[in-house]
Amino acid sequence: MTDITPINRKLRIATCSLAGCFGCHMSFLDIDERIQALAEIAKFDRSPLTDHGDLGQCDIGLVEGGLCNEDNVQTLSLFRRQCRVLVAVGACAVTGGVPAMRNHYSLTECLQESFINGVGVDDPQIPNDPELPRLLDKVRPLQEWIKVDISMPGCPPPAEAFVELITAVREGRTPDFTYSMRHFD
């Protein structure tokens, strides 16, 4: 990671979940009572944790999940524009993760299996409401679309990794993820 300077005001942090399961957000909340100390030094911008819709200029963007549809791509592009340090959070953001296991099959095969031929399907039809974002042919890690500043692997990364990440960005240094914080599962 390059060009970070220590930050002496409250950090602004935005978070989002793309093709992920919210497990990374849950792990972030596992910082338990340290959330009080976090509230002293940071403020949440757009995040599913706050329901705050617009994305302002942020110091840190925590992006959970890979890219599986056009909506994910737009959200990620917006996060990249607005966030000084963009973090790929978790196995799905870093590698595509479990959702990318659909890449073995064509999109048509996936949709057929899920909505037409799958076990227990009632009234088989492939959803085509114009409100639904169009799916990408493959599920991709974030690094394939934008520059990622920090990758935090793990399914999910442990709460301690979030604490270290935020502390490091505040102090203007590269996070030092210890052995137990860097697992790939």
Partner 1 sequence: MTSERAFTLDDTEVEFEPGDSLLTAALASDRYIPHLCAHPDFSPHGSCRVCLVEVDGHNRPACTTAAQPGMTIRSDIEPINVMRRQLLQLLFVEGNHFCPSCEQSGQCQLQATVYTVGMTDLHYPPLGPRRELDASHPDLLLDRDRCIGCELCVKASSEVDQKHIFSLGGRGTHTQLIVNSEHNQLGETDMTPDDRAAHICPVGVILFKTGNYAQPTGQRLYDQQPISAIGNHRAEDVDLPPTP
What single string gives the DSSP state of each residue in 76-106? HHHHHHHEEEEEEEHHHHHH-TGGGGGGGS-
Q: Which lies closer to partner 1 via its Cβ, residue 131 or residue 185?
A: 185
Q: Is 138 in the site for partner 1 (CB under 8 A)?
A: yes
Residues 35-64 vs partner 1: string with x where CB under 8 A?
------------------------------
Residues 145-164 vs partner 1: string with x where CB under 8 A?
---x--xxx-x---------
Task: Please name the residue that has the structure tokens 């979030």.
Answer: 162
* 102/96 Cα distance (integer angstroms): 10
Q: Which lies closer to partner 1 via its Cβ, residue 75 or residue 151?
A: 151
* Helix (H), strand (E) at residue 137: strand 135-140
Q: Is 19 in the site for partner 1 (CB under 8 A)?
A: no
Q: Is 137 in the site for partner 1 (CB under 8 A)?
A: no
Q: Which lies closer to partner 1 via its Cβ, residue 50 or residue 180?
A: 180
Task: Please name the residue that has the structure tokens 């996936």.
Answer: 110
Number of residues that bind partner 1 (CB under 8 A): 27
- Letter string b/e over residues 73-82, b meaning 16 or more CB atoms within 10 A of that residue's CB: bebbeebbeb
Phi, psi of 120 (to 5 degrees): 75, 15
- The least CB distance from residue 108 to partner 1, in Å, is 15
Mutual angle of helices 34-41 and 159-171, in 10-degree steps: 20
Contact 58, 52 (CB under 8 A): no
Please list every residue from 60 through 99 that binds partner 1, using CB under 8 A: 88, 91, 94-98
Q: Is 182 in the site for partner 1 (CB under 8 A)?
A: yes
Task: Please name the residue that has the structure tokens 């592009």.
Answer: 77
Q: Which lies closer to partner 1 via its Cβ, residue 55 or residue 181?
A: 181
Residues that bind partner 1 (CB under 8 A): 88, 91, 94-98, 100-101, 103-104, 138, 140-141, 143-144, 148, 151-153, 155, 177, 179, 182-185
